Structure 1
Amino acid sequence: MWELFTHPANIAFSTSLCLMFLFGIFEILLTIIGGGSQTLLDQFLTDSATPNAETHIDADHGLMGKALDWLYLGRVPLFVWLIIFLTAYALTGFIIQGITLQMTDMLFNVWLISFACLFLCMPVVRTVAKLVAKILPQDETMAIYSDELIGRTATIILGEARQNYPAQAKVIDHHGTTHYILVEPETEATFGQGQSVILTHKIKTVFQAVSV
């Protein structure tokens, strides 16, 4: 086992385990002095991986944002996510290399297996992060999904809304927070400024509505 751990072909996995233990020691030290690494690390998350506290509306994220969301990066503390990733990456690599060694008496090339395990471990990372997200207490948030606005009454505040020509409207969610959205009629109707409408569904970034 020690030979497998120290073999040059497994350097990436050995390093991952060492980093995991170093993170643990680092966290213990910060806890002793009254701090914590979670806030320190979470500030490095991109906007794609964190809820938008200003708009509170889920936008059409790019491919990177969808990938981060799929991995639950941003739904659990970044420090915890890194521990999960390093552990899953290292164990995936050691298991594959161990099986290969038993069957062929050889090991995969260090570059090939290191790169391949980055992808192979992701389903494990997602599964564990999803479980951890359910266990860890969540901070209360005012963020909502845009679909939660459907059925609410909005007011046209700028322009005239016609089919395929949306106008800006405002709507208040159940938290009392005001959101500014684009609205167009569901039928051939026209909505004028100041008119109240009921949101019926959403197509991409535009809400469709009917008159009150």
Structure 2
Amino acid sequence: MWDLFVHPSNLFFSVSLCLMLLLGLVECILLIVGASSQGFLDQFIPDSLFDTHHPDFNVDADHGLWIQFLDWLCLGRIPVLIWLIIFLTTYALFGFITQGIFFHFTESYFPLWIIAPATLFLCMPIVRVIASIFVKILPQDETTAIHSDELIGLTAEIILGNAKPNYPAQAKVKDQHGLTHYVMVEPATEITLLQGQSVILTHKTKIGFQAIPT
């Protein structure tokens, strides 16, 4: 078993399994200190992906093949952290099982450059099935998605850095469902918003929001 884990041909699967365990450990530590990585991870999901689950979404709108593919994988329907753990675990186990079966009959492994992309392609339907199950069993308030525009007008707190024009800082804001979002903010005027300061989100930008002091 150890030889299977450390063999160079299984490098990607070993790394995936380690990342999954690391994510779980970090999340446990954050929960102990009263925080979570969920809001931070959500900012890397395209807003248009959340739009596909919004009541006002136009089913005839063209959101591109990439967004359709992410939606097919149930991204945006469950917390990103849970989806990542599902993906990393499925990818690693599928790869290890395939390599183990192949080794049993041939006493050799598939080369890394073949097995890594092949496993990525073949495990996606399994990821979708498992994610779909989580969509059904997770509480609704854990998967509530909103338009990022709905954060406009809410009060946020700058938690990392000082925000200057064209030099945004990270802030956290709670939406109407009580969920925390981590966003990038910069001042709407020629001022500096300091770390720890409360601000009001006023306009959407390409990278986040403009804000003014409360």
Q: TM-score range by the shorter chain?
A: 0.5 to 0.7
CA distance 1:2–1:47, change in 2 (3 Å):
same
Tell me the equivalent position of 1:67: 69
Aligned equivalents of 2:145 and 2:42: distance in 1? 16
Which residue number corresponds to residue 203 of structure 2? none
Secondary structure of residue in 1 paired with 2:140: coil
> Which one of the candidate residues 88, 96, 99 is aligned to 1:97?
99
2:61 corresponds to 1:49: no
What are structure 1's unaligned runs of at least 5 residues? 144-212
Name the counterpart of 2:180: none
SS of residue paired to 1:121: helix
Q: Which has more radius of gyration?
A: 1
In structure 1, the residue matched to 2:197 is none
Q: What are the residue-to-residue correspondences of 1:1-212 with 2, within 5 Å?
A: 1-51=1-51, 56-58=56-58, 59-139=61-141
Contact 1:48 1:65 in 2 (8 A): yes
Q: What is the SS of the residue equivalent to 1:50?
A: helix
Q: Quick check: 2:54–2:145 contact (8 Å CA) kept in 1? A: no
Contact 1:42-1:78 at 8 Å conserved across structures? yes
Tell me what 1:189 maps to. none
Q: What's the C-alpha RMSD, in Å, of the aligned pairs?
A: 2.0
Task: Give ranges in structure 2 of 5+ residues lacking alignment.
Answer: 148-214
Percentage of matched positions with identical amino acids? 54
Distance verdict in 2 for CA 1:55–1:135, change over 3 Å: closer
| Consecutive aligned runs of 4 or more in structure 1 exceeding 2 Å deviation | 51-56, 139-143
* TM value normalised by structure 2: 0.63
Mapped partners of 2:136, 2:114: distance in 1: 34
Deviations along 1:94-139, whole A, 9 cap, x unmatched?
0110010001111000111011111111011000000001111123
